[in-house]
Amino acid sequence: MSAPVLKLDDARATKAAPAAEVVAFRAPKAPSPIAKRARRVFDWAATTLIPPLVVLALLLLFWELICSRPGSALPPPSQVVTDTWELIVDPFYDRGGLDKGLFWHLLASLQRVAVGYAIAVVVGVALGVLVGQSTWAMRGLDPIFQILRTVPPLAWLPLSLAAFRDGQPSAIFVIFITSVWPIIINTAVGIRNIPTDYSNVAKVIRLNGFEYFTKIMIPAAAPYIFTGLRIGVGLSWLAIVAAEMLIGGVGIGFFIWDAWNSSNISDIILALVYVGVVGFILDRIVAFIANAVTRGTATA
Amino acid sequence: MSAQAFLSIQHVDKAFSRGGVTNEVLKDVSLDVHEGEYISIIGHSGCGKSTLLNIVAGLTGVTKGVVFLEGKVVDEPGPDRAVVFQNHSLLPWLTAYENVALAVDKVFAKTKSKAERHEWTMRQIELVNMAHAKDRRPSEISGGMKQRIGIARALAMQPKVLLLDEPFGALDALTRTHLQDQVMQIQAELKNTVLMITHDVDEAVLLSDRIVMMTNGPSARIGEVLSVPLERPRKRLELVSDRTYIAARAAVLKFLYERHRFVEAA
């Protein structure tokens, strides 16, 4: 007979509880959507935007202080801005020959990188699949890749100049040979690490070679492939600046070399800022594509 | 061996050699399975029960012996022996629907139209009650839901034999019970022939018509086969006090823990 009594107690308890909660919840007012969004923007600024800006300001201040003394070798930031003001405000001028705005120099460099990198992507993924797929290809090719990949980009330049007898294809070749190694190696690792489960599934439903390649292999290795592509794009941007210093013509590397020859240290500093920002943007673009293509599994 | 057995495993030996060392996993394993039968294979870990399943699936070759399915030799994997893998093995870049559709589109490429394949895929997903989450990716659904999609994918191939490799092993107890009931229900409806690997005694007794008990490896063989003559549909709660159930459970436990205790510390 004790059971019903217990139930009654329970019912009373549950009835009382929500009443108490309602009182508690009435006090805080729900924030409006606009306030919520403003709050989010503010949080983002506080965590992502403000810290690097503060550090940047401190660095500039430090630089300004140590380079402002008379007789210092490098110009302070204020000097850089006044010296290069013309270049900053008008990146699009073109007075013929090599006397162009920074936009044109960067564009020329980016075009070379685009061609060289595109070839590296195609060749790198293809070779990576081969090496990842076939044990004999790996045994034969991997040691050679491991040695060749340590050759510095610029060491290839004289050889490619000798082979192509022209600056443009030589620069593109240097981009290619610099960025292809991480793409090959990461693709091969990605292919080799495809879980047996996935290939078992493919075997049970009897996918043929081509279907296996497009439906299992490439998506499964995509996170690895994109790691290689990101490293590759960074390396190719590193290589182009160095290569252009030597081959001449329009390009951000040559611009820096030309500025050095005419002792425009401020121009060099401005160009370095541009090189850094463009390299960062290239990296973010590849990362963005990776995220879109792998639908977020790249990070998982 | 009777020639009319639906699935017939005959004198199968399996040894793996690595670096000159030969490790015999299975020794003279023979088993006949009838159409529509639900068979569980139970044994301690490392006894080669997964190897046996992989041999039937065609994913692993035999060293000696032969496996027949409807009188034809099994020597390669195929959709007539669909596998539900222990860790679901869904492709993480595809949604639940796409995972099932990948199998359906391949297996029925020639025999069904596009609309029919879509309808067939949806029917399998509804069969495992996953229609509400068909557009989610594996990373966005729970372990039990993933395994349900894995089961749907296997059922979608209309296999002659459904192979389950510890299908509920990685799930929590509540989800496991729920899925076991669902599999029982599906099997009652579709009359599939099922071969299931398990290490859970209750699961084996509840689901199976016969329980195959394997001795410990190396050179594991079939120690005993126990029939479970319980009426279907089986009700989990009613069976708890059922004499046949208790006796079957005791027999399996005795085999596993008295006569073939797992000696090595796992």
Instruction: Annotate B55-71 with DSSP letters as a single string.
Output: HHHTSS--SEEEEEETT
Orientation of helix A265-293 relative to helix A102-133, angle to 10°: 40
Task: Tell me what percent of the residues of chain B surpass a pLDDT of 70.
Answer: 97
Q: How big is the CA angle at A295 (ends A293 and A298), to the nearest 5 degrees?
A: 85
* pLDDT for A9 beyond 80: no
Query: Mean pLDDT over residues A203-216, rounded?
Result: 91
pTM of the complete model: 0.76
The answer to whether residues B166 and B143 touch, using CB atoms and an 8 Å cutoff, is no
Tokens coding B217? 């490896």
Distance from CA of A198 to the nearest CA of B (A): 6
> pLDDT for A217-276, tens place per residue?
989 999 999 999 999 999 999 998 889 988 888 899 999 999 999 988 999 999 999 999
Q: Does A294 touch chain B (CB under 8 A)?
A: yes
For residue B91, give the chain A residue with the closest CA: A198
Distance from CA of A286 to the nearest CA of B (A): 19
pLDDT at B141: 92
Query: Mean pLDDT over residues B211-239, rounded?
Result: 89
Q: ipTM of the predicted structure?
A: 0.86
Edge to edge, the sheet with strand B72-73 lists B21-33, B7-18, B64-69, B72-73
Q: Does B85 touch chain A (CB under 8 A)?
A: yes
pLDDT at B4: 65
Distance CA B96, CA B99 (A): 5
Give the confidence band of B47 by pLDDT, cuts at 50, 70, 90: confident
CA distance to B32, B62, B262, per residue, from B3 (Å): 10, 20, 36
Interface with chain A: mutation pick from B93, B99, B151, B165, highest number of A CBs within 10 Å: B93
Q: Please answer yes or no on whether A195 and B85 come within 8 Å at the CB atom.
A: no
Query: What pairing do the DSSP bridges indicate for beta strands B38-42 and B193-198?
Result: parallel
Give the confidence band of B231 by pLDDT, cuts at 50, 70, 90: confident
The answer to whether residues B128 and B154 touch, using CB atoms and an 8 Å cutoff, is no
The answer to whether residues A255 and A113 touch, using CB atoms and an 8 Å cutoff, is no
> pLDDT for B92-151, tens place per residue?
989 999 999 999 999 999 999 999 999 999 999 998 889 999 999 998 999 889 999 999
The closest CB to that of B89, out of A197, A207, A211, belongs to A197
Query: Mean pLDDT over residues B163-179, rounded?
Result: 88
Query: Mean pLDDT over residues A109-121, rounded?
Result: 95
Neighbours of A210 (CB within 10 A): 8
* pLDDT for A199 beyond 50: yes
pLDDT at A15: 47
Mean pLDDT score across all residues of chain B: 89
The answer to whether residues B147 and B90 touch, using CB atoms and an 8 Å cutoff, is no
pLDDT at B54: 93
Q: Which residues of B touch A195 (CB under 8 A)?
A: 89
* pLDDT for B179 beyond 70: yes
Location of structure tokens 């080669």? B48
Give the confidence band of A181 by pLDDT, cuts at 50, 70, 90: very high
pLDDT at A89: 83
Sign of the C-alpha dihedral, residues B137, B138, B143, B145?
positive
Q: Which residues pair with B66 in a beta bridge?
A: B10
Q: Does A218 touch chain B (CB under 8 A)?
A: no
Q: Please answer yes or no on whether B139 and A220 come within 8 Å at the CB atom.
A: no
Distance from CA of B109 to the nearest CA of A (A): 11
Q: Does A292 touch chain B (CB under 8 A)?
A: no
Max mean pLDDT among A76-90, A248-262, A273-287 falls in: A273-287
Q: Please answer yes or no on whether A201 and B82 come within 8 Å at the CB atom.
A: no
Distance CA B248, CA A188 (A): 52
* pLDDT for A6 beyond 50: no
* pLDDT for B245 beyond 70: yes
Q: Which residues pair with B72 in a beta bridge?
A: B69
3-state class (DSSP) for residue B47: coil
Whether the ω angle into residue A28 lies within 30 degrees of 0, i.e. cis, is no
pLDDT at B20: 83
The closest CB to that of A204, out of B79, B91, B139, belongs to B79
The closest CB to that of A206, out of B59, B92, B106, belongs to B106
The closest CB to that of B89, out of A198, A297, A300, belongs to A198
Neighbours of A285 (CB within 10 A): 12
The answer to whether residues B163 and B78 touch, using CB atoms and an 8 Å cutoff, is no
pLDDT at B87: 83
Tokens coding A120? 């590296």
Q: Please answer yes or no on whether B81 and A204 come within 8 Å at the CB atom.
A: yes
Q: Please answer yes or no on whether A200 and B83 come within 8 Å at the CB atom.
A: yes
Give the confidence band of B5 by pLDDT, cuts at 50, 70, 90: confident
Q: Which DSSP state fits B216?
A: P
Max mean pLDDT among A5-14, A183-192, A243-252 falls in: A183-192
Long-range pairs, B60-65, Cβ under 8 A, ≥24: B60/B14, B62/B12, B62/B13, B62/B14, B63/B13, B63/B14, B63/B15, B64/B11, B64/B12, B64/B13, B65/B9, B65/B10, B65/B11, B65/B12, B65/B13, B65/B28, B65/B29, B65/B30
Q: Which of B75, B79, B67 is nearest to B12 (CA)?
A: B67
Give the confidence band of B11 by pLDDT, cuts at 50, 70, 90: very high
Q: Which of B186, B185, B166 is nearest to B41 (CA)?
A: B166
List B residues 21-60 in contact with A (Cβ-Cβ < 8 A): 57-59
Q: Which DSSP state fits A100?
A: B
For residue A222, give the chain B residue with the closest CA: B93
Distance CA A209, CA A84 (A): 58
> pLDDT for A26-77, tens place per residue?
555 666 788 888 888 888 888 888 999 999 999 999 999 988 888 888 888 8
For residue B41, report the phi and psi dihedrals to the nearest 5 degrees.
Answer: -115, 120
Using H for helix, E for strand and C for coil, what is the string for A135-204?
HHHHHHHHHHHHHHCCCCHHHHHHHHHHHHCCHHHHHHHHHHHHHHHHHHHHHHHHHHCCCHHHHHHHHH
* pLDDT for A204 beyond 70: yes
